[in-house]
Amino acid sequence: MALDRWLALAILGLCLVYGYTAWFTMDANLPRFMQRNPVWPSTFPKALSVMGAICAVWILVFQKPLPEPGPDDVDYRKFLSYSWGRALALIALMLLYAATLRPLGFLGSTIGFLVIGAWILGEKRLYVSLPVALVAAGGIWWLVSEVLGIFLRPMPMFLM
């Protein structure tokens, strides 16, 4: 069986477990007043599990085998030859970003994340990545705080 079918089988199993949890265990402890609502906390997980199972079964039954990968395609047989250092560095940077959101504030940690992430991905020109990070972080902060009305601490706690 091809790799895409194995992955579809794994996703089907995951969707079945997730669907069982959503259909039979999530709603057991709902308060009385919520049991008459048309939308429950488990509505989205139920829909997600059903759609995922349908897609996985579709791949298992109707998908034709994929052709051999070309030179530019991702080949699972060359799994260890890809640059995993950058991927692991980005994952570590994401964890560091989450840890620094409160102490550095949204703007400081987001600008740092974007600049360092661009450097990890290969952008060495700071005069390009820093203005992009400033505009992106400032724009997102303005949209979230002013347009949506959700408070995001823009600066470090000791400056507020």
Q: What is the pTM for the complete model shown?
A: 0.57
- Taking alpha carbons only, the member of 44, 42, 47 closest to residue 21 is 42
Q: What is the pLDDT of residues 1-20, one digit of tens each?
A: 577 788 899 999 999 999 98
The predicted pLDDT at position 130 comes to: 94
pLDDT tens across 30-79, in order? Answer: 777 777 777 777 788 889 999 999 999 998 888 877 676 677 776 667 77
pLDDT at 131: 95
Do residues 156 and 106 touch, judged by C-beta distance below 8 A?
A: no
Q: What is the pLDDT of residues 70-111, one digit of tens each?
A: 777 766 677 777 788 899 999 999 999 999 988 888 999 999
Domain ranges of the chain: 3-70, 83-159
Average pLDDT, the chain: 85
For residue 22, the number of C-alpha atoms closer than 13 Å in the C-beta half-sphere is: 17
DSSP label of 25: I
| Structure-token match 């450097």, residue found | 119
Nearest to 59 by CA among 140, 4, 18: 4
User: What is the Cα–Cα distance from 60 to 122, expressed in whole angstroms?
Assistant: 38
Three-state DSSP class for residue 140: helix
